[in-house]
Amino acid sequence: MNTDILDARLIPDGKILVALSGGADSTALLLSLCEKIGAERVCAFHLNHCLRGEESDRDERFCRELCERLGVGFKSARRDILAEKQRGETTEQAARRIRYDELSLAAHEFACATVATAHTANDTAETVLLNLARGAGGAGLGGIPPTRELDGLTVIRPMLAATRADVERYLTERGQSYVEDSSNASDDYSRNVLRHHAIPVLERTNDRAVRHIAAAAALAREDEEYLRGEAVWLLQRARMDGLDGFDAELLADAAPPIRRRALRLAFGELDDRTLERVHVEALERLCESDDPSARLSLPGKVVARRVYDRLVLERDEQIEPPSESELAVGANIFGGYVVFAERAVAPKGLRSAEFALENPIYLRADRRYVLRARREGDFIRPKGRGLTKSIKKLFVELKLPAAERDLMPIVFAAEEVDGDGAAAVLGYAPSEGCAAAAGEDALRVHAQKL
């Protein structure tokens, strides 16, 4: 009885909840924890998936009787996995989601801060091979991590260094039985195909193949942790003070392994799903693009845009421009902007060198004005510039982000005469026909984003 299957370094103080299926691995985990820390600190949870009829009920009875014999607190739940599958989920994905939901509830009921699962070196090897077959990157090569956080709980996998052969030897030494899941014999599942065919072939070439793959996965996890730290630092440096988004050139110049991880982290701030390689490569091309308003659709209704030198990731929420409204003295809310208007006397020779919404514009006070968004064909004849400008082209010249061009408030005369164009483009200039002359009573107008 000398086989040791637990990594004691992963076992914390306090009570531990075991995810118990009744199979060899989880039975060995429960028994070994009871030996190591005592049954009073161990409890168990079993989920009856209702997938195999009487066999599922048999597994539940086995787990209950085992825990009663060991003096371990026990809880079970029955969930019809097939009936509760969500759209797009496989049966395996639904079972995993529901299992962890129920584990979280049971852990709180037993006052456990830690959940232990019975993953072994074989599970790690199978996971690495599956991830390789699916085209995974560095994170996928790391296989199964020894710990993870789950809704305020810590999930530990203290058997990752043990092989399935170690587990079976441990149970034989103690004369402990376990139940067999008949679905494990089927090749209908990808993991079973690897377990029945690929792993045995690898072990014929080297009987320590599973251990070697698990050891390589541990090294890959260390490498991934370091590279992720570098990616976090890159993303922090790429954030642009006072502006949304990231420095696209800084990202484009970074080392590819760090850049790719940084882009995944940036996406992860908006959506918790895994970004596939094809999307990461598209984001890399966007960072390198010469198009100052290029756009890319990503999963989860996330959109990536180039806004000149910035890479901006945001939710693709279609925002309709606000309705036309009268410009009144005071603060006027127009969508995501506030436009301020006040009575004033127009100064002499006022002309701003740069576009900025805060730049004041002085309009004739003897007219009424309205605020509205840009429409096709809108133009302005800016005072003192001797030309007519298309507002669409003007917004491009002013480097206004594409997503803002159709939402920006523009001032028009309420009694607009055909051919007058806009009365003012805020932050830029008033029109020839609406600009107040120096010393005249005027309406002082400026704006800011909310």
At residue 95, the pLDDT reads 83
Per-residue buried b or exposed e for 167-179, using 16+ beta carbons within 10 Å of the residue's own CB:
bebbbeeeeeebb
Token pair belonging to 151: 């809704």
* DSSP symbols for 152-210: TEEEE-TTTTS-HHHHHHHHHHHT------GGGG-TTSHHHHIIIIIHHHHHHH-TTHH
SS3 412: strand
Closest CA to 378 of 410, 339, 354, 404: 410
Digits of tens for pLDDT over the chain (450 positions)? 577 899 989 999 999 999 999 999 999 999 999 999 999 999 999 988 887 888 889 999 999 999 999 999 999 988 888 888 787 777 778 888 888 888 899 999 999 999 999 999 999 999 999 988 887 778 888 999 999 988 788 999 999 999 999 999 999 999 999 998 887 777 777 888 888 899 999 999 999 999 999 999 999 999 999 999 999 999 999 998 777 899 999 999 999 999 999 999 999 998 887 788 888 988 999 999 888 878 888 887 888 888 889 999 988 766 677 888 899 898 888 887 889 999 999 888 766 557 888 889 999 999 899 999 998 888 998 888 878 889 988 888 888 877 788 888 999 998 876 567 899 999 888 998 899 988 899 999 999 886
| Element spanning 314, H or E | strand 310-315
Question: What is the reported pTM?
Answer: 0.67
Distance CA 144, CA 118 (A): 11
* Contact of 99 with 118, CB cutoff 8 Å: no
- Residue 187 buriedness (CB in 10 A; 0-12 / 13-18 / 19+): exposed
Q: How many helices (H) and strands (E) does the chain have?
A: 15, 21
Distance CA 353, CA 335 (A): 27
* Contact of 110 with 16, CB cutoff 8 Å: no
Closest CA to 300 of 310, 313, 312: 313
